[in-house]
């Protein structure tokens, strides 16, 4: 009678070993999946970082500029209006001809002039306006190079001096400037201090950052109060009925609606019906608030449900009204979860592009917006515009803008985690 029991024990031990081996394999598969996901993420981030490096540097060319008084300020009054009308482009061209006197042909001169950015004349005008005493002197001024010159200088830095069709003369001129020490690179502050531009070397993200900030402010002040009040009513005051069930189902469904639908709604209602300004942070914020409102309501309701019923019962036991219970006890205790859900919803809105394209925020905007009704771009749309540009210099700008957007998203999610860690209470 003991033999069957021994066999049964051996089979049970074998089954236990197989189960443990299966569990070990499952853990290995899970770790392998996580490692693969992290590997792809690291490759993506490294690719963006490496490709964005050229956007953070700017090539500068040093030229001996002749600030001729007759051409800049003939009257000698140092009047800012007169100084701003001077032909600074012609002054730069004259300096280039002086630096390379062997260039005489019209076609060669055009190629020579293209070494300097078209925006250099405005840099020179600002320099003279800030220091009028320069008029009548000759000084070495560092001016931004064009995108083409920047690409060629990058090749020279990496030891590639092979002339390609059409690049022979510019490559020789840049090599001469390198030999004389009249070319250098510096940190590209223009990328963070200027708006968009048709020229890659002049394009910046300040306008997009300001537009993004204004749009998110409108989104927050529209969606947060409405979302919290709606969640508070549904969770604390609304009687359970078919109507409240229908509202809850619709809220959950709206959270899963594609974002472009909200863009179409904004186009039909805010632009076509109400006639609001196109490509303005006000309209963009209203559209994004419609998109984030269901997320905030769901997160706020979950946070309110997490508050123990004993808190409400204790408050009512000492005579507090339902409104006092909600305002003085339930809502403050649920605030960390509500804020976390709101920040996550805002972070999702920060990365949206499709609804903003539908309301016209794809326009080319150079000026920095100063109010919510001014035309503006946002970072995701700016990335979309630069990615569609044919100039090679915009490729680095696109990656750099993606990196800035990722930093903002990481900071917002980190803030949500810190708020939860700091204020969350475990019951």
Closest to 91 (Cα-Cα) out of 145, 58, 135: 135
**CA terminus-to-terminus distance, the chain:** 55
- Block residue for tokens 């070990």: 24
Q: Which pair of tokens denotes residue 186?
A: 């510096």
Closest to 155 (Cα-Cα) out of 182, 178, 186: 178
pLDDT recorded at residue 241:
85
Give the contacts of 340 (CB within 8 A, at least 6 positions apart). 299, 303, 416, 417, 419, 420
CATH 1.10.1060.10 fits 206-423, yes or no: no
pTM of the model: 0.85
Per-residue pLDDT of the chain (427 residues; tens, 9 = 90+): 455 565 568 788 888 888 888 999 999 999 999 999 999 999 999 999 999 999 999 999 999 999 888 888 888 788 888 888 889 999 999 999 999 999 888 889 999 999 999 888 988 988 888 888 888 889 999 999 998 889 888 888 877 777 677 778 888 899 889 989 999 999 999 999 998 888 898 999 999 999 999 999 999 999 999 999 999 999 988 888 888 888 888 898 888 888 889 999 998 999 998 989 888 999 999 999 999 999 999 999 999 998 888 888 898 898 888 889 888 889 988 988 898 889 888 988 888 888 888 888 888 888 899 999 999 999 999 999 999 888 888 999 999 999 999 999 888 888 888 877 777 666 6
Domain segments of the chain: what residues?
2-53, 57-192, 206-423
- Block residue for tokens 């853990």: 27
pLDDT recorded at residue 161:
72
Q: Which pair of tokens denotes residue 165?
A: 């069709």
Label residue 131 left, alpha or beta by phi (over 0 means left) and psi (-120 to 50 means alpha): beta
């Amino acid at each position: 009678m003991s033999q069957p029991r021994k066999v049964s024990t051996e089979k049970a031990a074998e089954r236990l070993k197989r189960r443990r081996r299966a569990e070990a394999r499952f853990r290995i598969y899970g770790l392998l999946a996580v490692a693969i996901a992290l590997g792809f993420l690291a490759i993506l981030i490294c690719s963006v970082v490496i490709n964005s490096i050229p956007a953070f540097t700017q090539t500068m060319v040093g030229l001996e500029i002749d600030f001729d008084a007759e051409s800049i300020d003939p009257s000698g009054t140092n009047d800012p209006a007169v100084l701003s009308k001077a032909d600074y482009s012609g002054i730069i061209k004259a300096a280039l001809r002086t630096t390379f006197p062997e260039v005489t042909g019209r076609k060669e001169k055009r190629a020579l002039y293209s070494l300097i950015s078209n925006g250099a004349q405005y840099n020179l005008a600002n320099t003279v306006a800030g220091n009028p005493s320069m008029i009548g002197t000759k000084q070495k001024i560092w001016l931004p190079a064009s995108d083409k010159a920047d690409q060629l200088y990058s090749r020279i830095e990496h030891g590639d001096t092979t002339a390609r069709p059409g690049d022979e003369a510019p490559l020789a001129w840049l090599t001469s400037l390198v030999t004389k020490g009249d070319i250098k690179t510096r940190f590209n502050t223009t990328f963070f201090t200027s708006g968009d531009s048709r020229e890659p070397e002049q394009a910046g993200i300040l306008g997009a950052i300001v537009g993004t900030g204004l749009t998110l402010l409108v989104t927050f002040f529209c969606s947060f109060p409405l979302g919290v009040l709606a969640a508070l009513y549904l969770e604390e005051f609304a009687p359970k009925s078919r109507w409240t069930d229908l509202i809850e189902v619709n809220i959950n469904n709206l959270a899963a609606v594609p974002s472009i639908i909200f863009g179409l709604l904004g186009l039909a209602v805010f632009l076509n019906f109400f006639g609001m300004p196109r490509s303005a942070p006000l309209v963009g914020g209203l559209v994004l608030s419609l998109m984030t409102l269901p997320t905030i309501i769901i997160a706020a309701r979950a946070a309110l449900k997490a508050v123990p019923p004993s808190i409400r019962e204790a408050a009512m036991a000492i005579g507090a009204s339902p409104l006092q219970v909600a305002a003085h006890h339930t809502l403050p205790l649920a605030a960390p979860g509500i804020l976390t859900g709101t920040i996550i919803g805002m972070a999702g809105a920060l990365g949206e592009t499709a609804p903003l394209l539908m309301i016209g925020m794809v326009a080319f905007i150079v000026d920095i917006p100063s109010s919510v009704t001014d035309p503006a771009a946002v970072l995701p749309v700016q990335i979309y515009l630069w990615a569609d540009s044919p100039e090679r210099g915009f490729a680095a700008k696109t990656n750099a803008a993606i990196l800035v957007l990722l930093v903002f998203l990481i900071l917002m999610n980190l803030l949500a985690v810190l708020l939860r860690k700091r204020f969350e209470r475990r019951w």
